[in-house]
Amino acid sequence: MNVGFIGLGLMGRPLALHLARAGHTLHLWARRPASLEPFKDVDAHCHASAAEVAKHAEIVITMVADAPDVRAVCLGAEGIAAGAMLKNEPGLIVVDMSTINPNAAREIGGELAAKGIDFLDAPVSGGEVGAINAALTIMVGGKPEVFDRVKPLFEKMGKSVTLIGACGAGQVAKACNQILTGVGVMAVAEAFNFATKSGVDAAKVREALLGGFAYSRILENHGQRMLDRNFKPGFKAWMHQKDLRIVMEEAHRLGLMLPSAAATAQLFNAIVGSGMGEDDSVAALKLLEKLSTPE
């Protein structure tokens, strides 16, 4: 296939490279020329705009920061829809793998549909390591027949690919994922900080808890990173802050009480406000240590 890819950052870059290695021809656009450097040795064509990408591609994948960026890339003056209109060939599919508000995904999908463009929202879980290893969990919203067409591409980027429901359902699933992972990271950080402040070896506590009902992949993976003081970003704290903002926006819209998610969202606000936004989300441990240490 001729596949467009827009958003070649921490996550998008390895995903696009997987598609190139699988034999697909890439059509790329990036705001920063440096983002295109890794694609010198693969079958990839660089274009001057998102519109130009759309003119050459059957499927365009976007993976950008937030809903305004998705809207600009898809529906802006030099966006995907503009290129599709110039191309004058039906059947273009846009797949947004960003994490955005479910309502925003529905609105963008509806506006693209009005222009004859199919849309899937397909956010992911697994972080940079999952992207590099093509081991992501991919949660998809959209029409089943469109999902079936794109599924072979998803399978080159992830190990678990699930059609959740109609447009926006993928983003709802991702919001649920971010509630569980955000609260989980904070719970592990709290437990480790409690153990340390009690004069007990947190590594030994983790070893014991891994053998009981407290076991979780977050305790196993993120817990080890906390013990190693490895705060290099696989998933930056500011990204989790943004995702929990989306959760709380939807909670307000739906009139839902999400007490654990709300408290965790505030803690991620504090992480970012303390200058640790570029660290991995496991920097939650550093925040709790800071708050519990007398000046």
The answer to whether residues 251 and 258 touch, using CB atoms and an 8 Å cutoff, is yes
Helices (H), 10-165: 12-21, 50-56, 67-75, 80-87, 102-114, 127-132, 144-157
Domain 172-291 has CATH 1.10.1040.10: yes
Alpha-carbon separation of residue 15 from 10, 79, 136 (angstroms)? 10, 21, 10
Paired strand residues for 162: 139
**Domain locations in the chain as residue ranges:** 2-165, 172-291
pLDDT of residue 33: 85
Summarised one tens digit per residue, pLDDT across range 198-208 is 999 999 999 99
Give the architecture-level CATH label for domain 2-165.
3-Layer(aba) Sandwich (3.40)
Selection from 252, 106, 258, 118 nearest residue 178 by Cα: 258
Q: What do you get for the CA distance between the two ends of the chain, in Å?
A: 59
pLDDT of residue 107: 97
pLDDT of residue 146: 98
What's the CA gap between 94 and 115, in Å, rounded? 12
Classify burial at 76, counting beta carbons within 10 Å of its beta carbon; exposed 0-12, middle 13-18, buried 19 or more: middle
pLDDT of residue 195: 98
pLDDT of residue 230: 97
* Helix, coil or strand: residue 257: coil
Residues with active-site annotation: 174
pLDDT of residue 205: 98
Summarised one tens digit per residue, pLDDT across range 254-294 is 999 999 999 999 999 999 999 999 999 999 999 999 998 76
- Could you give the count of Cα atoms lying within 13 Å of 33 in the half-sphere of its Cβ? 0
Residue ranges of the chain whose pLDDT lies below 70: 88, 294-295
pLDDT of residue 294: 67
What's the CA gap between 106 and 98, in Å, rounded? 14
Residue 293 phi/psi, 5-degree rounding, is -105, 120
